[in-house]
């Protein structure tokens, strides 16, 4: 009879099962994936090597230039020196938009985006910090909105900003600006260092699509960024949450007047991630999955949404109130794009729009 063999099999499977169930790692990237998939490996290598790592390198370089320019302004505060620094500021903020979408792995571990781009800035908290000299940048949530680009936006470009750098509290104010700059540079270079370290390999060899896999991160971030466009970037300042009462000063880059450029750059970069730049991206993966029509539909919708954003008259912060039809149109097109990502694309790539690991059937 076969009893002992079956018993053994059952015992092995059950032990294995409990062991396996208890050792699965939570939400982190699979450290030792097996098997291979040349397409996925190639796609992820393209993302890491040609898009993500260069994006952080570019941001790092732009921040260095910005620091030099801002120091020039701080050493000799005037409208002229500020004007001289503004292109560097714009270049750095636009460069950030190419990294905004890849908020997972090292960036997420360092809370990079939270610290570097939580808007609107908490202006009175910033002023209190300057006055007391008592501020900390390393407390999650609490110190999110007193640093990063939004803090610089307020400190450098708010009305009468220049004058405040010559007043009695100007040394404290200058120190605050320098601290913000230093903090941004550190965060970005630490993120870049991790990407250039072991994280890159684990990203490129993560071939699954479950929670915590590279493909799931990418698709989820597409949805997340579009949700942010629909929410804090455009929708909320436009009054979508507040019965159409406009909160123009809550938009991204309000004081510097860069709102529109930033939004367009954000979406343009997102599209670039979607198509994978000049290499293979999620769009090509969809084609491999025999979803060519969907791949093209999403690509086309990106273009429609970008044109709709471009059609909003400058400055965008004024258009929220003055040109609601154009803003509404852009909002609708972004929502259409978000819908495609959250439903068809997520479905086709077997990605769940959630960051929480869970069982399903």
Partner 1 sequence: MVIKEFGSNRSVSIAPLVTFRITFGLLMLGSLIRFWWRGWITALYVTPPFHFTYWGFEWVQPLGDTGMYLLVFVLISCALLVTLGLFYRPAIVIFFLGFTYVELIDVTTYLNHYYFISLVAFLLVWLPANRYYSLDAYFGFIKPRLRVPRWTIGILRFQMALVYVFAGLAKLNADWLLRAEPMKTWLPSKSHLPIVGSFMYDDWVAYLFSWFGAGYDLFIVFFLLNRKTRPTAYGFVLLFHAATALFFPAIGMFPYVMIASSLIFFSGEFHQKLLSFLPFRQVALPAEPYQFWYRNVAAGLVVVYVCVQLLVPIRYLLYPGKLFWTEQGYRFSWRVMLMEKAGAAYFTVKDQTGKKSWTVDNGQYLTPLQEKMMSSQPDLILKYAHYVADQFKAKGVAGPKVYAEVYVTLNGEPSRLFVDSTVNLAAKKLSWRPYDWVLPFDTN
- The distance in angstroms from the start CA to the end CA of the chain is 36
| Residue 240 sits in the site that holds partner 1 (CB under 8 A) | yes
**Which residues lie below 8 Å from residue 120, measured CB to CB, with a gap of 6+?**
145, 150, 249, 250, 251, 254
Piece of the chain touching partner 1 by CB under 8 A; list 140-148, 159-167, 204-212, 312-320: 204-212
Count of CB atoms within 10 A of residue 17's CB? 10
Given a contact cutoff of 8 angstroms between Cβ atoms, the answer to whether 96 and 59 are in contact is: yes
Query: Max Cα separation, the chain?
Result: 95
Lookup: tokens for 298? 């999403």
From the list 35, 134, 159, 168, which residue makes contact with partner 1 (rule: CB under 8 A)? 35
Counting residues that bind partner 1 (by CB under 8 A) gives 61
Q: Which is nearer to partner 1, 14 or 142 (CB)?
A: 14
Instruction: Decide: is 10 part of the binding site for partner 1 (CB under 8 A).
Output: yes
Peptide bond before 315: cis, by omega within 30 degrees of 0? yes
Nearer to partner 1, 159 or 356 (CB): 356
Question: Closest distance between partner 1 and the C-beta of residue 4, in Å?
Answer: 8
32 lies in the site for partner 1, by CB under 8 A: no
287 binds partner 1 (CB under 8 A): no
Under the binding rule (CB under 8 A), the answer on residue 109 touching partner 1 is: no
Is residue 219 a contact residue for partner 1 (CB under 8 A)? no
Q: In Å, how far are 19, 102, 180, 220 from 142, measured between CA atoms?
A: 40, 23, 15, 26
Piece of the chain touching partner 1 by CB under 8 A; list 9-17, 151-159, 161-169, 316-324: 9-17
User: What is the Cα–Cα distance from 129 to 147, expressed in whole angstroms?
Assistant: 11
Burial 134-146 (b: 16+ CB within 10 A, else e): ebebeeeeebbbb
Helices (H), ranges, 47-111: 53-75, 79-100, 106-109
Q: Does 2 bind partner 1 (CB under 8 A)?
A: yes
The answer to whether residue 244 forms part of the interface with partner 1 (CB under 8 A) is yes
- Distance of closest approach, residue 346 Cβ to partner 1, in angstroms: 5
What residues make contact with partner 1 under the rule CB under 8 A?
A: 1-3, 6-7, 9-10, 13-14, 17-18, 20-22, 24, 26, 33-37, 40, 207-210, 215, 227, 231, 235, 240-244, 288-289, 291, 294, 335, 338-340, 342-344, 346-350, 352-361
């Amino acid at each position: 009879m076969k009893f002992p063999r079956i018993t053994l099999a059952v015992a092995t499977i059950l032990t294995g099962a409990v062991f396996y169930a208890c050792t699965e790692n939570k939400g982190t990237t699979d450290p030792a994936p097996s098997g291979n998939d040349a397409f996925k490996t190639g796609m992820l290598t393209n993302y890491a090597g040609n898009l993500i790592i260069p994006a952080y390198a570019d941001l790092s370089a732009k921040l260095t230039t910005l620091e030099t320019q801002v120091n020039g302004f701080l050493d000799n505060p005037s409208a002229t020196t500020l004007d001289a620094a503004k292109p560097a500021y714009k270049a750095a903020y636009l460069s950030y938009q190419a990294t905004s979408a890849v908020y997972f792995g090292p960036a997420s571990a360092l809370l990079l985006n939270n610290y570097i781009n939580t808007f609107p800035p908490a202006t009175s908290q910033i002023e209190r910090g300057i006055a007391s000299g008592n501020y900390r940048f390393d407390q999650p949530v609490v110190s999110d909105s007193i640093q990063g680009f939004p803090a610089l936006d307020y400190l450098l470009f708010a009305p009468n900003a220049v004058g405040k750098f010559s007043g009695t509290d100007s040394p404290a104010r200058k120190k605050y600006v320098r601290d913000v700059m230093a903090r941004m540079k550190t965060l970005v270079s630490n993120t870049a260092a991790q990407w250039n370290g072991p994280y890159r390999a684990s990203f490129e060899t993560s071939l699954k699509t479950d929670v915590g896999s590279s493909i799931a991160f990418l698709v989820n971030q597409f949805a997340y960024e579009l949700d942010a466009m629909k929410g804090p970037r455009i929708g909320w300042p436009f009054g979508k949450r507040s019965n159409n009462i406009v909160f123009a000063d809550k938009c991204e880059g309000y004081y510097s007047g860069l709102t529109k450029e930033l939004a367009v750059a954000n979406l343009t970069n997102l599209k670039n991630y979607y198509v994978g730049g000049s290499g293979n991206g999620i769009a090509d993966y969809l084609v491999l999955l025999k979803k060519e029509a969907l791949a093209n539909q999403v690509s086309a919708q990106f273009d429609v949404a970008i044109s709709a954003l471009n059609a909003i008259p400058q400055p965008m912060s004024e258009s929220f109130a003055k040109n609601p039809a154009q803003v509404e149109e852009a909002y609708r097109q972004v929502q259409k794009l978000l819908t495609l990502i959250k439903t068809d694309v997520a479905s086709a790539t077997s990605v769940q729009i959630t960051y929480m690991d869970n069982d399903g059937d």
